[in-house]
Amino acid sequence: MILIADSGSTKTDWRVVSEGRVIQTVTTQGINPFHQSVDYIHDVINNELITSMNDKQSISEIVFYGAGCIGDKCGLLKQQLSDSFPHVNIDVNSDLLAAARSLCGSKEGVACILGTGSNSCLYDGRNITSNVSPMGYILGDEGSGAVLGKLFVNELYKGNISGAIREEFEKDTGLTLQAIIENVYRKPMANRFLASLAPFISTHIDNPVIESLVITNFRNFLTRNVLHYNRTDLAVNAVGSIAYHFAEQLEKAIMEVGMKVGKIYKSPMEGLVMYHSL
């Protein structure tokens, strides 16, 4: 049996797969070797994953895809998994390769991640051939939930969105400007906090100012990242909660920049199970 993992900033989805069928599903906290300590990763694997598994002994292969899995960080995570799953073949890859394999399979394409963070690549059907660095939510990450939250708060408290929506926002979320500043500047995981504002934004997408903000966020992502691949002949495929929940606005932005709309998935897992079952 094969254990497939798709890990983002917030959570990790695990699937135990046998002969193309999902045998078990497990969800744990997100694992990111770029930001998290060895002890933290060890605790997630042993206290959340293994304790939830029905048949650890039958796992013969692990394929892990995750944010922060680049360079020597892949080796660090592979070692942590190997300590808990000895004698198992382990492969650690980036979340971007997960998106490409899920969305494009063995065909050439443009694959994007639009969740808490954002990323994109040009994929030749086997490997990522080009990648514009997303640079994180402070310096980049256009199109992401974190940047969307940042743009929304800016517009809300600088008076560009109606006072009635501001009042509703503070009532529904229990947040004030002071609380937002506290969460962004003085607490960890500011990107997650900002992205957590996306559900409120989604419920008010019929407001022209808010919809324009969402489309602008996607358009900035496309013009500053995807168009640099110079492959307007290829469709834009995307995976992630922001892509999925704002699919209509994403499609508008894609067409505005002169590209074609491809697949839009909430999660790459279904495509990964198919990819690793061929």
Q: How far apart are CA 223 and CA 96, in angstroms?
A: 19
> Look-up: residue for tokens 């009532």?
171
Contact 114, 143 (CB under 8 A): yes
Task: State pTM to two decimals.
Answer: 0.87
Q: How far apart are CA 26 and CA 29, in angstroms?
A: 10
- pLDDT, tens only, 131-142: 999 998 899 999
Check residue 71 and give its pLDDT.
86
- pLDDT, tens only, 149-180: 999 999 999 999 999 999 999 999 999 999 99
Q: How far apart are CA 55 and CA 53, in angstroms?
A: 6
Q: Which residues of the chain have pLDDT under 70?
A: 9
Overall size of the chain counted in residues = 278
152: how many CB neighbours lie within 10 A of its CB?
Answer: 24
Check residue 36 and give its pLDDT.
83
